[in-house]
Amino acid sequence: MSAEDSSLVMVSSYSTLENLAHRPRGTPAKHPLRVFQLNNKTGAMTLLHVLMDDKECLNPAFIRLHPSLDLAYVVTEDVTQENRLLTYTYSSSSGRLEKIGSVGAGGKSTCYIYPSRDESKLLLVNYWDSSINTFGMDSFGIPRTMVASQTCRTADSAAPQQHGDDPHGGHRTKETHAHAVVLDPAHARVAYVPDLGKDCIHQFVFNQETGKLAKAGTLISGQGNGPFGPRYIEFHPWLDIAYVVNELSSTVAVFEFNPTFAKMLQPGSDQQTLTLVQTVNTVPVAFPRRLNTCGRITVHGSGKWLLVSNRGHDSIAVYSVDTSGTRGLTGSKGSLNVVNYCHTRGHTPRHFKFDSTGRWLLAANQDSDSLSVFAFDANTGLLQFKDSYTVPSPNFVQTRELRGTRRPQSKL
């Protein structure tokens, strides 16, 4: 099988469960990182590599690939101690991972990684501490030191507690929990941070040179009464539209993005660069929302479809995206209409990912120890189950097209 016909698939798994903010029900993984090869034509998967004997790689829960180098950034998740930001090279032929960097994440329960546009910085989010830390990278793309830190905590923020089996526990909305960070697509200077606890989206002005974040107001993440529990934010590939998945209310909030306001936003300002235009449910109307929380949100590469994972309903919700309507509050461009719900053939799809072709969707069923593969029809938005693979407590999936690129030499 040629490189053009296949993709690498990296899957991370929880290895210990008692030190997490939530309580997974899957099997703890002895080896928490796996690399598969996906056949882009058939959807078949072959296990290539299992990371062995890496004592620092405990509860890896988020993987970000370098935009141009064969590097994988991995963060660990633990509420009892400082977490780690690990850097691995990976082989495009064998899938083998080799660790070449390790640095403290500067917080607990690290849950998100985002690169600066010039590839000189990495932004990390620590859920437990509700902090966003910026790391400088050397010429090889390896994070070395933390150069800036910002917090979402306020004087009235309650101390965080593990929520165990009840993700809808009332204490979560008394705390502050930054869950992600994304830079605006127009200028890469406004950082949006969904805060699940404070029920808002923080705006920060990001200085790419220094890595510093300066507060610039907040946005409400839904319509009506909360709690909403904003988890992730995703921008459309070309429309001035942003989508926020609300974990606790099982909704998607659709925002119109104003690139002019984003360019002009100043620290200390309360100018809103996003305007809420629509809210849609992620589960059928009669399904009890208290039995569900949302996971990942993404826009298909075609820009025609948006997908969300439901943990409890155990499904992927698929929406069509209106790309032909007019802009503005009374228009419909970027608005969503539900197409279908597809069961993931497992429990608690914490994360899912398309392959490089957009033809295959891989869903990590955290609580049933399985990775499901679905064929995706980009003309109809329909998902068709292909196969399932046993993976203990899978929590994240990352994909990369197999190709030859320059790789840094380890300096450790």
The answer to whether residue 72 is domain-embedded is: yes
Confirm if 129 and 111 have CB atoms less than 8 A apart.
no
Confirm if 354 and 368 have CB atoms less than 8 A apart.
no
**Residue 155 token pair:** 């004087």
Q: What is the pLDDT of residue 167?
A: 86
**Residue 121 token pair:** 């910085």
**Residue 354 token pair:** 């398309």
Asked whether the predicted pLDDT for residue 406 surpasses 50, the reply is no
Amino acid sitting at position 50: V
Mean pLDDT for 9-13 is 98
DSSP string, 259-292: HHHHHH--TT----SEEEEEEEESS-TTS-GGG-
Q: How far apart are the C-alpha atoms of 398 and 375, rounded to whole Å?
A: 17
CA pseudo-torsion sign 385, 386, 392, 393: negative
Mean pLDDT for 176-201 is 97
The answer to whether residue 240 is domain-embedded is: yes
Q: What is the pLDDT of residue 408?
A: 42
Mean pLDDT for 117-134 is 97
Q: What is the pLDDT of residue 305?
A: 98
Q: What is the pLDDT of residue 92?
A: 87
Q: What is the pLDDT of residue 412?
A: 30
Q: How far apart are the C-alpha atoms of 183 and 132, rounded to whole Å?
A: 13
How confident is the prediction for the chain on average, in pLDDT?
A: 93
Task: Please state the separation of Cα 7 from the chain's center in Å.
Answer: 20
- The total number of structural domains that make up the chain: 1
Q: Which of 70, 64, 107 is nearest to 86 (CA)?
A: 64
**Residue 84 token pair:** 């780690």
The answer to whether residue 106 is domain-embedded is: yes
Secondary structure class of 339 (helix, strand, coil): strand
Q: How far apart are the C-alpha atoms of 64 and 70, rounded to whole Å?
A: 11
* Model pLDDT for residues 228-261, shown as the tens digit of each residue: 999 999 999 999 999 999 999 999 999 999 999 9
Q: What is the pLDDT of residue 163?
A: 85
The answer to whether residue 253 is domain-embedded is: yes
| Confidence class for position 174, pLDDT limits 50, 70, 90 | confident
Q: What is the pLDDT of residue 332?
A: 79
Question: Considering the entire predicted model, what is its pTM?
Answer: 0.95
**Domain of 307, in residue numbers:** 3-154+171-401
| Strand residues in 221-263 grouped as ranges (E) | 230-235, 241-246, 251-257
DSSP letter assigned to residue 57:
-
Confirm if 340 and 311 have CB atoms less than 8 A apart.
no
Mean pLDDT for 348-368 is 97
Q: What is the pLDDT of residue 173?
A: 81
Cβ partners under 8 Å of residue 83, min gap 6: 75, 76, 77, 104, 105, 107, 108, 109, 110, 126
3-state SS, one letter per residue, for 120-147: CEEEEEECCCCEEEEEEECCCCCEEEEE
Task: Please state the separation of Cα 156 from the chain's center in Å.
Answer: 28
Task: Please state the separation of Cα 325 from the chain's center in Å.
Answer: 28
Q: How far apart are the C-alpha atoms of 113 and 148, rounded to whole Å?
A: 15
Please list the residues that pair with 37 across neighbouring strands.
8, 46
Asked whether the predicted pLDDT for residue 409 surpasses 60, the reply is no
Q: How far apart are the C-alpha atoms of 279 and 270, rounded to whole Å?
A: 23
Q: How far apart are the C-alpha atoms of 82 and 104, rounded to whole Å?
A: 7
More confident residue, 210 or 172: 210
Q: How far apart are the first and last CA of the chain?
A: 34
Asked whether the predicted pLDDT for residue 407 surpasses 60, the reply is no
Mean pLDDT for 120-147 is 97
* Model pLDDT for residues 298-356, shown as the tens digit of each residue: 999 999 999 999 999 999 999 999 998 765 444 579 999 999 999 999 999 999 999 99
The answer to whether residue 261 is domain-embedded is: yes
| Confidence class for position 370, pLDDT limits 50, 70, 90 | very high
The answer to whether residue 406 is domain-embedded is: no
The answer to whether residue 161 is domain-embedded is: no
Confirm if 129 and 151 have CB atoms less than 8 A apart.
yes
Q: What is the pLDDT of residue 166?
A: 82
Q: How far apart are the C-alpha atoms of 288 and 206, rounded to whole Å?
A: 39
Confirm if 254 and 277 have CB atoms less than 8 A apart.
yes
Please list the residues that pair with 351 across neighbouring strands.
364
Confirm if 84 and 103 have CB atoms less than 8 A apart.
yes
Mean pLDDT for 366-384 is 98
Q: What is the pLDDT of residue 331?
A: 52
Q: Supply the CATH number for residue 181's domain.
A: 2.130.10.10
Asked whether the predicted pLDDT for residue 405 surpasses 80, the reply is no
What is the share, in percent, of the chain residues with pLDDT greater than 70? 95
Judging by beta carbons within 10 Å of its beta carbon (0-12, 13-18, 19+), is residue 126 exposed, middle or buried?
buried
Asked whether the predicted pLDDT for residue 113 surpasses 80, the reply is yes
Asked whether the predicted pLDDT for residue 394 surpasses 60, the reply is yes
Q: Strand 84-90 and strand 97-104: pairing?
A: antiparallel
Give me the residue label for tokens 């605006």.
184
The neighbour count for residue 117, using CB atoms within 10 Å, is 14
The answer to whether residue 166 is domain-embedded is: no
